[in-house]
C-alpha cells in the first residue's frame, strides 16, 4: 500500500499552517503539556477538553507538581472530564517519571508505552508532537481520512497503520500527524464533511462518489441501560460516602448504589438503614451506560463526609442534588 504523494503532503501542511486551530500545546509543545492534552482528549470533545486541560495545567504545571500531589487531588481536578482511569494513570505516570534521574519523559514511543495509561496512539502522538520523533499516529480522525481518501467502507487497522506509516512527512512528523487529525476534526467530519475546502479533495475517492459519509461504515455502539437505586444517608456532619472501586469511577467518592432494580432492600440492610423515603429519579449517561436510579434519603446521627472535601463524580453530584444538596 502506497502513501500520499509529496505534492498532497505539501498541500495538507500548507492548509494546516493557515487553518489550524490555535491550541496552547501547539505553539509551545512542552512534553508535559502535550501528554496532558492527550490524556484529557481521550474520549472527550475538544470544546470540553480544552477547559479541562487548562484546569489541569494550572493545578499541575509540571510532572513534579502532580507527582507530589495525592491521587485524590488529581481526581478532584479531573472532575467532569469522565473516564477517571485516565486521571489515575496520569498520576501514576507522574510518580514514575519523578522517581527517575533525570525526571524526564522519554522521547521514544516504545519507552513511552512502558508508562501507565499510554498505548500506541498516545505514544506516537507525544513522541512526534513533543519531540519530532518520526512516527505515525493513528486516531479516529485519521482513520476516517484514510477511509475516505481510499473509499474503504471497512478499513482494517493494519492497513490504516501501514498507510499512515507510508504517508508520514518525515521532516515535520509532529505537524503532519496533527494536520491529518485537524483535517478529520474540522473538514472531513463524520456527518457533514466540507469537501470543497479539503486540500486532499482532488485525490479523495469518497468525495468522487458524491457520498463521502458512506466511508467508513459507522460502528454504532448502543448504551447499556442500568436500573437501580441510590441511597443518600445524611448526617449532621455531611453525607455517608465511600470510595468507589473499578475502572470507571474508581478512586472517586460516592453514595451507595445498586444496579439491581430489586436490590433496594439489600442496599438498605448493608448500610443499616431502616427508614428511607423516595425523593426522585436520576438519569445519567456515561461511558456507553445509561443509569436510571431511584434516589432515596435516610438519616443517621453519626459519621458523614462533606462532599466538597473529596472528589465525586458527576453522577453522584446529580444524585445529591436530587436529594437537596447544594454545592457551596
**What is the per-residue pLDDT across 276-301, written as a single tens digit (0 to 9) for each?**
999 999 999 877 789 999 999 999 99
Name residue, grid cell 498505548: 119
Q: Catalytic residue positions?
A: 38
| Strand, coil or helix: 313 | coil
Q: What angle do CA 205, 154, 127 make, to 5 degrees?
A: 85
Q: At what angle do helices 46-59 and 71-78 cross, to 10 degrees?
A: 140
Name residue, grid cell 505537524: 175
pLDDT tens by residue, 83-110: 899 999 999 999 999 999 999 999 999 9
> What DSSP element (H or E) covers 320?
helix 314-322
Tell me the helix, strand and coil percentages in the chain, rounded to 5: 45, 15, 40
Q: What is the band of 250 on the pLDDT scale with cuts at 50, 70, 90?
A: confident
Residue 81 phi, psi dihedral angles, 5° rounding:
-90, -20
Q: What is the band of 247 on the pLDDT scale with cuts at 50, 70, 90?
A: low
- Mean pLDDT computed over 38-48: 92
> What pLDDT is stored for residue 103 in this prediction?
96
Q: What is the band of 218 on the pLDDT scale with cuts at 50, 70, 90?
A: confident
Whether the pLDDT of residue 248 is over 80: the answer is: no
Rounded-to-integer distance, Cα 132 and Cα 314, Å: 37
| Strand, coil or helix: 253 | strand
Whether the pLDDT of residue 66 is over 90: the answer is: yes
**Domains of the chain by range and CATH?**
6-214 (1.10.340.30), 224-322 (3.90.79.10)
Indicate the burial class of 251 (C-beta count within 10 angstroms; 0-12, 13-18, 19 or more): buried
Q: Are 148 and 120 in contact (CB under 8 A)?
A: no
- Mean pLDDT computed over 147-153: 97
Grid cell listed for 25: 500545546
Whether the pLDDT of residue 1 is over 70: the answer is: no
% of the chain beyond a pLDDT of 90:
87
pLDDT, the chain, mean: 94
Rounded-to-integer distance, Cα 54 and Cα 43, Å: 17
- Mean pLDDT computed over 269-281: 95
Grid cell listed for 3: 502513501
Amino acid at each position: 500500500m502506497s502513501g500520499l504523494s509529496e505534492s498532497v503532503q505539501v498541500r495538507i501542511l500548507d492548509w494546516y499552517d493557515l487553518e489550524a486551530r490555535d491550541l496552547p500545546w501547539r505553539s509551545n509543545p512542552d512534553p508535559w503539556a502535550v501528554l496532558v492534552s492527550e490524556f484529557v482528549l481521550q474520549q472527550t470533545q475538544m470544546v470540553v477538553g480544552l477547559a479541562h486541560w487548562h484546569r489541569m495545567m494550572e493545578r499541575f504545571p509540571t510532572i513534579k507538581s502532580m507527582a507530589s500531589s495525592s491521587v485524590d487531588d488529581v481526581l478532584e481536578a479531573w472532575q467532569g472530564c469522565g473516564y477517571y482511569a485516565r486521571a489515575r494513570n496520569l498520576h501514576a505516570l507522574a510518580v514514575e517519571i519523578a522517581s527517575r534521574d533525570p525526571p524526564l519523559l522519554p522521547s521514544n514511543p516504545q519507552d513511552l508505552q512502558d508508562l501507565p495509561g499510554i498505548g500506541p496512539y498516545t505514544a506516537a502522538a507525544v513522541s512526534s508532537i513533543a519531540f519530532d520523533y518520526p512516527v505515525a499516529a493513528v486516531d479516529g480522525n485519521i482513520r476516517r481520512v484514510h477511509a475516505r481518501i481510499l473509499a474503504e467502507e471497512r478499513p482494517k487497522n493494519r492497513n490504516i497503520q501501514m498507510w499512515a506509516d507510508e504517508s508520514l512527512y518525515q521532516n515535520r512528523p509532529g505537524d503532519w500527524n496533527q494536520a491529518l487529525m485537524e483535517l478529520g476534526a474540522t473538514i472531513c467530519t463524520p456527518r457533514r464533511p466540507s469537501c470543497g475546502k479539503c486540500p486532499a479533495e482532488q485525490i479523495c475517492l469518497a468525495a468522487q462518489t458524491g457520498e463521502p459519509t458512506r466511508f467508513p461504515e459507522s460502528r454504532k455502539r448502543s448504551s447499556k441501560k442500568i436500573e437501580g437505586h441510590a441511597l443518600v444517608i445524611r448526617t449532621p456532619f455531611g453525607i455517608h460516602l465511600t470510595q468507589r472501586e473499578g475502572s470507571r469511577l474508581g478512586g472517586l467518592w460516592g453514595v451507595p448504589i445498586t444496579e439491581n432494580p430489586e436490590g433496594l432492600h439489600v442496599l438498605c440492610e448493608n448500610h443499616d438503614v431502616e427508614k428511607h423515603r423516595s425523593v426522585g429519579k436520576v438519569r445519567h449517561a456515561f461511558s456507553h451506560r445509561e443509569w436510571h436510579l431511584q434516589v432515596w434519603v435516610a438519616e443517621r446521627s453519626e459519621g458523614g463526609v462533606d462532599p466538597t472535601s473529596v472528589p465525586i463524580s458527576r453522577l453522584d453530584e446529580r444524585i445529591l442534588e436530587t436529594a437537596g444538596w447544594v454545592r457551596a
